[in-house]
Amino acid sequence: MNRIVVVGASAAGLAAVETLRREGYDGTLTLIGEEPHAPYDRPPLSKQILSGEWSPERLPLRPYADLDALGLDLRLGVAATGLDTADRTVRLADGAQVPYDGLIVATGVRPRRLPGEGAHVLRTLDDALALRDRLGPGRRLAVVGAGFLGAEAAAVAWQLGAHVTLIEPAPVPLAHAVGTAVGEVLSRAHLEHGVDLRTGVSVQEITEDGVLLADGGLVEADEILVAVGSLPNTEWLADSGLTVGDGLVCDTYCEAAPGVYGAGDVARWHNPLFGVDMRIEHRTHAAEQGMAAARNLLAAPGARKPFAPVPYFWSDQYDMKIQAYGYLRGHDEVTVVAGDLAERRFVAAYRTGDRVTGALAVGMPPKEIRQWRQAIAAGASWQETVPAGATEAA
């Protein structure tokens, strides 16, 4: 294998090229990125960058000297537009065609949008800077979508002195992921800080005056942020012969086709630890999968290893530090195993079938939740792990 191409120059792509070199690959290594920036960290965009606490200079994941040391054919500011798996070439927006012997797809996701013009999204550095420049005391911000991204942005805007309206179509924000009881606890933090949280409300379109609701009402706003989820960047794979369905479909080794692997937000793969297909949009996961895909691409026949991680994510909102391990979606039960929900200082464990499959902590020391990561990784049974007398979250 003399030519490897990695498409996507964010956390997953960077982890892939670093791993390839670390594992001894010394052939041509091309890293392609649509943005003009070198690989940078995205979680601070909705936190430290939006608040102004950090300057953009703190975001790069590696200094340019480290990238140079990798000996990359680095192509930034150019998107991949097509893939020919028969000829093994990647087509780029500038007309170039890049040949490969091995390929890692790490093209990430893009924000979903709503009808109308003028709304902000928050995915790139340029997005964050554009919104930051429009926030401040007395400004009116409407945030559509009360998931983790929308909630973080709402909290930062409130801290900057803006009047914030947070609009969510579900009755309880995040209930589909963390459960109704935990979702209600997280929601109360917004209400206590004076955010106008409106749940069970659908949006018709974005207008120049604000957000037009499905019932004809108007939420007036100076600025609007749409945070209603993401779409995998797979359009460039049309006609490639690869299977696409809510992401690039991969097997348990992260392989999508012979010599083609997926990593990061764009990849949907079978996680044997939980026995389900999943696509994870979290920073830590992206780096882990980039490393796994690179190792399996280089591995000798029979030496590949299934990618079976315990996903991890965190969120900062107001004074709340939220951490979670595992796969929380589709759970059958949520039980508080430490602390107290009402005080927003607790650990909740998640059961699917007869197994512990997730844990979420708010306001607790990291050691309080790390033990649950071990239980999840071991496939521990619920009955043997959850303390007797623990309270099920209603």
User: Which CATH number covers residue 209?
Assistant: 3.50.50.60
Shared domain for 202 and 143, answered yes or no, is: yes
- Tell me if 193 is assigned to some domain: yes
- Tell me if 312 is assigned to some domain: no
DSSP label at residue 105: E
Q: Residue 392 has what pLDDT? A: 85
Residue 387: pLDDT band with limits 50, 70, 90: confident
Q: What mean pLDDT comes out for the span 255-274?
A: 98
Shared domain for 98 and 120, answered yes or no, is: no
Task: Read off φ and ψ for residue 251, nearest 5 degrees.
Answer: -90, -170
Residue 89: pLDDT band with limits 50, 70, 90: very high
Q: Contacts from 319-323 at CB under 8 Å and sequence distance 24+?
A: 319/363, 320/186, 320/189, 320/344, 320/362, 320/363, 321/362, 321/363, 322/148, 322/186, 322/360, 322/361, 322/362, 323/360, 323/361, 323/364, 323/366, 323/369
pLDDT in tens, 312-326: 999 999 999 999 999
- The enclosing domain of 362 has a CATH number of 3.30.390.30
Residue 389: pLDDT band with limits 50, 70, 90: confident
Shared domain for 97 and 175, answered yes or no, is: no
Q: Letter for the amino acid at 389? A: G
Residue 8: pLDDT band with limits 50, 70, 90: very high
pLDDT for residue 295 is more than 70: yes
Shared domain for 106 and 244, answered yes or no, is: yes
pLDDT for residue 301 is more than 90: no
> Both tokens of residue 323?
């951490």
Shared domain for 121 and 153, answered yes or no, is: yes
- Tell me if 307 is assigned to some domain: no
Cβ(334)–Cβ(391) under 8 Å?
Answer: no
Q: What mean pLDDT comes out for the span 371-388?
A: 93
Shared domain for 118 and 101, answered yes or no, is: no
Q: Is residue 183 classed exposed, middle or buried when 0-12, 13-18 and 19+ CB atoms within 10 A define those classes?
A: buried
* Listed residue (126, 11, 12, 13) closest to 75, CA to CA: 13
pLDDT in tens, 117-143: 999 999 999 999 999 999 999 999 999
Domain containing 332 equals 319-392
Shared domain for 64 and 155, answered yes or no, is: no
Q: What mean pLDDT comes out for the span 20-44?
A: 97
DSSP secondary structure, 131-144, as one string? HHTT--TT-EEEEE
Shared domain for 29 and 85, answered yes or no, is: yes
Shared domain for 92 and 40, answered yes or no, is: yes
Mean pLDDT, the chain, whole residue set: 96
Q: What mean pLDDT comes out for the span 213-232?
A: 97
Q: Residue 31 has what pLDDT? A: 98
The rounded distance, in Å, linking the Cα atoms of 236 and 227 is 24
The rounded distance, in Å, linking the Cα atoms of 104 and 294 is 8
% residues pLDDT > 90 (the chain): 95
Shared domain for 222 and 118, answered yes or no, is: yes
**Single pTM value for the model:** 0.95
- Tell me if 359 is assigned to some domain: yes
Specify the number of domains making up the chain: 3
Q: What mean pLDDT comes out for the span 335-355?
A: 95
- Tell me if 20 is assigned to some domain: yes
Residue 394: pLDDT band with limits 50, 70, 90: low
